[in-house]
Amino acid sequence: MYTRRIFPVKGVIKWTRRHIFLFLIIATIPVVLFDVVGLKWLHVPWLPLGVLGTAVAFLVSFKNNASYDRLWEARKIWGGIVNASRSWTIMVKDFINNDHTKAKLSNEELHEIHRELVHRHIAWLTALRYQLRADKPWEQHLKSGKSNAEFREANYLVCEDTIPIEDAIKEYLSEEDYNEVFAKGNRASQLLGVQSRRLKELKQQDLIEDFRHMEMSNMLVEFYTLQGKSERIKNFPYPRQYATMNYIFVWIFIILLPFGIMEGFEGIGEHIFEDLATHESHLSFTHRIQEVIAKHFVWFSIPFSALLAWVFHTMEKIGENTENPFEGGPNDVPITNMSRGIEIDIRELIDDVNIPEPYEWKNDIVM
C-alpha cells in the first residue's frame, strides 16, 4: 500500500485512541493512591527510570530502523521487477522474429507468440503478489488488532483478499498452462519454468538464435532472483526475540512512568504553594484557587505521563506495522498497483488490446 499524503494527526489519534484511554487510566491510578489515599512513598526515583527510558528508546529505534530496512529492501526489489519486466518485453518483441528461421511466420503469428510470453509474465506477477499477500502466523497486526482492522475496513480493500487467484490469473494462461501451474505448490516458480521451456521450443524452431536465447534465459534467472529476495523477506520475520522483548520493555517503562514523574510534579506544587504563602492576598478567591491547584499539582502528571507513554508506544507500534512490507497495510509496498502498472506498460509495448485501467486511489490509499 502507499498513502498519497502525510498521515494526518487526526488519523494517528484515532488509530491509537484505545491506547490513549488506557494510558490515562494507568497514569491516574498511581496519582489517586499518592494524593487521595496518601501513599506518599509510592514513587520511583527518576534516575533509574530515566536510564530505563533511554535503553527503551534505543531498542525502539533499533527495531524501527530494522523494520524500515525491510520495507525499503522490498521496495527496491519490486523496483527491480518493474525494470526487468520492461526489459523482458523488449527482448520478446525484438528477439523473436523470422531472421533465422526457414519457416517464416506471419506478423499475426509472431504477435501471438509475443502476447503469449508477455501474458505469461503477467501471470507470474499475479501469482507472486498473491503468494506475498498470503497470511503468515506472525503477520496478524492488520487483522487481530482492532484499530488496524477498523482502519482497513473503513478505508481500503486488498484485491488479493476479495478475488481468488484462479479468477485473477486465468485470463493470462492457456488451459494447459493453467492446469499445469495449479497442480504444483509454488505457482510463480512453475510459471517461470513454463516460460523457460517455451523459450527452448522457440529456439528449436529457430525463432530465437543462441545468443538471444541466452540473454532471455538470463532474464528469467533475474526474475527467479527477485522472486527469491521477495520470498526471503516474506518468509523470514523480524526476529521474534527482539520484537517480543522490545514490546515488553516498552510496557514496563509505560507502567513505571507515572510513578517516576509524580514526585517531580509534587515538588513543583510545593514551590508554587511556598510562593503563594509570601503574598498578602491570602483571603482572595483567586489565591485560594491557586492554593488548591498547588496542593494537588501532582494531578498534572497524568496528561504528561500519558503523552510520554503514547509517544513510546506509538513508535513501537509503527515499527511493528512496518516489519512485514507485503502484509497489505496502508503503508506497505503497493505490489498490487505496481503489478497493474507493469501490466499496462508491457502490454502497450507489444500493442496489445483490452488493456486494463490503473487502480484508483481510495481514501488516499493505493494497494
Q: For residue 285, what pLDDT is reported?
A: 67
Residue 103 C-beta-side C-alpha neighbours within 13 Å: 6
Instruction: Give the domain extent around 245.
Output: 2-366
Q: For residue 5, what pLDDT is reported?
A: 44
Asked if 287 and 273 touch (Cβ cutoff 8 Å), the reply is no
First vs last C-alpha separation in the chain: 4
Q: For residue 141, what pLDDT is reported?
A: 63
Average pLDDT by stretches of 10, the chain with 367 residues: 52 83 95 89 88 93 93 96 97 93 91 96 96 85 62 68 91 95 93 96 94 96 97 90 89 94 86 73 68 84 94 91 86 90 96 88 66
Q: For residue 2, what pLDDT is reported?
A: 47
Q: For residue 271, what pLDDT is reported?
A: 83
Q: How far is Cα of residue 79 from the mean position of the Cα atoms in its chain?
A: 16
pTM of the model: 0.86
Q: For residue 193, what pLDDT is reported?
A: 96
Number of domains in the chain: 1
Q: For residue 32, what pLDDT is reported?
A: 93
Q: For residue 4, what pLDDT is reported?
A: 43
